[in-house]
Amino acid sequence: MKLGTQNQAFFPENIKEKFQYIKEVGFDGFEIDGKFLVDHLDEIKEAIAETGIPVYTACGGYTGWIGDFIEERRLNGLVEIKQILEALQEVGGKGIVVPAAWGMFTYRLPPMASPRSLTGDRKAITESLVYLDKVAEETGTTIFLEPLNRYQDHMINTLADARSYIEENGLKNVKIIADFYHMNIEEDDISEALHKNRDLVGHIHLADNHRYQPGSGSLDFKKHFNTLKEDGYDGFLTIECRVRGNDPDAEYRQAVKHLRESLS
């Protein structure tokens, strides 16, 4: 398994320096913002060539959710995701992380009454995924469908929720991304859920139980990594977290050390 990272505020702004920093800290790849990739494609190609650090995945960078309540925004988002997948194809990237939506609505906070039916939710997401499945096939990439916790999205919360869309629609280029932070809220047991869905889990996001850097909370990363090993997972483990502490750089490096030790 390989360690990846998203961007952090304390990373260098210059693109080549950013990639060099990621390599120096000890990461194996970069999960990049999709719009940033599209807007700086040539510079990113050069940075990859110089450092050997691949852009494995993209996350974010589009303006409409696949399950958006507003149809025009949903369709615009699909156009932007297609552009990101085409850019990923150019740099040898694997795919893009896509939740149903983020922060659009939750049954756990007022008004607690969705403007759309559950049937309407499923129709919107299904149409989006069927379209993106074809785009992914054309670009040799993968859609990583991400379940979020109930406080951030009301449509896809567990790995089983994501699995149902893939199986019911016969999607060949859609896999599940398992995010330990969201799973800690939604799954009865992280390792059990990973094992049950081992045939469809294609990417991993890491944060500790409170969304801060791995090793600063209570999650047993070694236990869950062992499950992934036993099930033959050999993809990326990508940190997606906030960082707290007086020295973010030192805290982040300590998180990498903790994860490497948990992998050993």
Indicate which residue of 31, 186, 187, 240 is catalytic.
240
What is the Cα–Cα distance from 260 to 263, expressed in whole angstroms? 5
Which residues have CB under 8 Å from 257's CB, separation 6+? Answer: 215
Q: Tell me the pLDDT of the chain averaged across its residues.
A: 98
CB 52 within 8 A of CB 64: no
- In degrees and rounded to multiples of 5, residue 212 shows phi and psi of -85, -175
CB 97 within 8 A of CB 31: yes
pLDDT value for 11 = 98
pLDDT value for 195 = 98
35 confidence band (pLDDT: 50, 70, 90): very high
Q: Among this protein's residues, is 240 annotated catalytic? A: yes
pLDDT value for 57 = 98
pLDDT tens for each residue of 145-179:
999 999 999 999 999 999 999 999 999 999 999 99
> How many CA within 13 A on the CB side of residue 8?
23
Which residues have CB under 8 Å from 144's CB, separation 6+? Answer: 57, 95, 96, 97, 98, 174, 175, 176, 177, 202, 203
DSSP string, 166-207: HHHTT-SSEEEEEEHHHHHHH-S-HHHHHHHTTTTEEEEEE-
Domain boundaries, the chain: 2-263
Indicate which residue of 31, 146, 186, 187 is catalytic.
146
pLDDT tens for each residue of 199-251:
999 999 999 999 999 999 999 999 999 999 999 999 999 999 999 999 999 99
> What's the whole-number mean pLDDT along residues 6-17?
98
What is the Cα–Cα distance from 65 to 81, expressed in whole angstroms? 10
pLDDT tens for each residue of 53-105:
999 999 999 999 999 999 999 999 999 999 999 999 999 999 999 999 999 99
Q: 2-263: CATH homologous superfamily?
A: Divalent-metal-dependent TIM barrel enzymes (3.20.20.150)
Q: Which helix (H) or strand (E) holds 215?
A: none
User: HEC profile for 80-131?
Assistant: HHHHHHHHHHHHCCCEEEEECCCCCCCCCCCCCCCCCCHHHHHHHHHHHHHH
